[in-house]
Structure 1
Amino acid sequence: MAANRGYNSTSAGTRLRLIEAASEILDEEGYPAFTARRIAGRAELKPQLVHYYFRSMEELVVTVFRRSSASYFRLHDEALSSARPLHALWDLNCNIPEARRMLEYVALGKIYPALRDEMRASGESFRALQIEVIEKVCAQNGIATPPMPAAVLATMMSALARSIVIESNVAMTTAHREIRDYIGATLDLYEPG
């Protein structure tokens, strides 16, 4: 059997078109439309090319997720490097780009174990960075006994922001303002001013 050069191609324009088409499909149509035929159609390519450039649909979705994760990491890094990193992180997570796609990744994670593993590793990495920054903020501001442990605050911020994003997708906004106000006031205890 001849080697398939497309699998190892990382800079091919066609491969990139497929990745972008897969991202658009997830954003606009959701995980049920994540098929080789639909993605190739969106990219205006033949369906066979999906499997030329990716060994499986699992490999494609992991590639798309890694691209999203890298994009979020840049924004996450900017937030954590800002003057008020906890406030910036909260704002980022409440207004996360590609929020719709994140829900689709969760659904696809039930189908594709490699995606689930990638999501777990990425999430744990982000959480560790957040905990580290919360601890650093406490140390810089002389907070010996913070209102809540760093791991609890990081998890609470993430979970509440995720709920706001998910509920906003279905136009539910009840108590969102109150949650934002509460988290803002809580973060002011860590980052006054």
Structure 2
Amino acid sequence: MQVTASARPKARDSTTRDMLIAATTQIMVEEGYAAATSRRVAAQAGVKPALVHYYFPTMDDLYLAVFRIGATVYLDRQQKALASDRPLHAFWETLIAPKDTRLLLEFMGLANHRKEIRAEIAAWSERWREQQITALNFIVREHDIDTDEFPPAALAVVIAAIGRTLILEQGLGTVGGHDEAIALVHRMLDRFEMPQPKARRGAQSR
């Protein structure tokens, strides 16, 4: 397909915008949100500083673009994890992915100073949690787990809290008890996911 002249600037615009978002993401993960200034982002992306504000009038606009892309990717990854053969284990793995969690923690720090970003994080957090609880409601029943003893909503909160705490402490250089905590989580998840789901047992018995 032939690319028209009018289409080329749009392609360049998209590429430059993506480069700025990728550069900001990398800086926030590796150096923290305070380091992600317009000049630093421009240098990382290899463009002139003026281009940052051409594509993003304010730094908050850039931060929000970074967050929304990451949030959308994570929502899709979480959905796939919760629909996998071992959903609890897969869900846990999404929570201890260092890059994703560190970026979220940086945004949580940034949210202390930016109301719009705080509202955005809160809205997406509700979407993540709703997806988690919906899936876990089905998962625990499939595995004959007592929902009174292990409420799906509580499981979602506890698993997420442990994963994020581990990443936060690792970022600070604190690792005491981490191996034991991870082993404990794995033992608990193995306990839940060792039995075959009722649907599969029924299919095999037939």
TM over 0.5: yes
* Residue equivalent to 2:25: 23
How many residues are treated as equivalent by the alignment? 186
Alpha-carbon contact 1:18-1:43 (below 8 Å) kept? yes
CA–CA distance in structure 2, aligned partners of residues 9 and 70 of structure 1: 22
Alpha-carbon contact 2:111-2:118 (below 8 Å) kept? yes
Match of 1:192 among 174, 191, 194: 194
Alignment deviations for residues 94-129 of structure 1 (CA, whole Å, 9 cap, x no partner): 234333322221121122222111111111111111
CA–CA distance in structure 1, aligned partners of residues 170 and 77 of structure 2: 21
* Residue equivalent to 2:132: 130
CA–CA distance in structure 2, aligned partners of residues 138 and 99 of structure 1: 25
**In the TM superposition, what is the alpha-carbon distance from 1:79 to its structure 2 partner?**
0.8
Alpha-carbon contact 2:101-2:167 (below 8 Å) kept? yes
CA–CA distance in structure 2, aligned partners of residues 93 and 117 of structure 1: 21
CA–CA distance in structure 1, aligned partners of residues 16 and 44 of structure 2: 12
Alpha-carbon contact 2:110-2:117 (below 8 Å) kept? yes
Higher Cα Rg, which structure: 2
**In the TM superposition, what is the alpha-carbon distance from 1:9 to its structure 2 partner?**
9.4
* Residue equivalent to 1:63: 65
**Structure 2 residue 157 is matched with structure 1 residue 155:** yes
**In the TM superposition, what is the alpha-carbon distance from 1:184 to its structure 2 partner?**
2.3
CA–CA distance in structure 1, aligned partners of residues 64 and 12 of structure 2: 14
Specify which structure has the bigger relative contact order, considering alpha-carbon pairs within 8 angstroms and separated by 6 or more residues: 1
Q: Report sequence identity in percent.
A: 34
* Residue equivalent to 1:178: 180
**In the TM superposition, what is the alpha-carbon distance from 1:178 to its structure 2 partner?**
2.2
SS in 1 for 2:176: coil
**In the TM superposition, what is the alpha-carbon distance from 1:140 to its structure 2 partner?**
1.4
Alpha-carbon contact 2:28-2:106 (below 8 Å) kept? yes
Alpha-carbon contact 1:9-1:15 (below 8 Å) kept? no
* Residue equivalent to 1:116: 118
* Residue equivalent to 1:12: 14
Alpha-carbon contact 1:87-1:187 (below 8 Å) kept? yes
Match of 1:95 among 94, 97, 100: 97
1:145–1:10 CA distance, 2 compared to 1 (3 A):
farther
Gaps of 5+ in 1: 1-7
SS in 2 for 1:97: helix
Alignment deviations for residues 150-170 of structure 1 (CA, whole Å, 9 cap, x no partner): 111110000011011111123
What TM-score do you get using the length of structure 2 for normalisation? 0.81
* Residue equivalent to 2:54: 52
* Residue equivalent to 2:143: 141
CA–CA distance in structure 2, aligned partners of residues 10 and 31 of structure 1: 26
* Residue equivalent to 1:3: none
Alpha-carbon contact 2:89-2:189 (below 8 Å) kept? yes
Alpha-carbon contact 2:42-2:49 (below 8 Å) kept? yes
RMSD: 2.2
Gaps of 5+ in 2: 1-9, 196-206
**In the TM superposition, what is the alpha-carbon distance from 1:80 to its structure 2 partner?**
0.7
SS in 2 for 1:12: helix
**Alignment-mate amino acid for residue 123 of structure 1:** S
Of 138-147 and 170-179, deviating more is: 138-147
**Alignment-mate amino acid for residue 148 of structure 1:** F
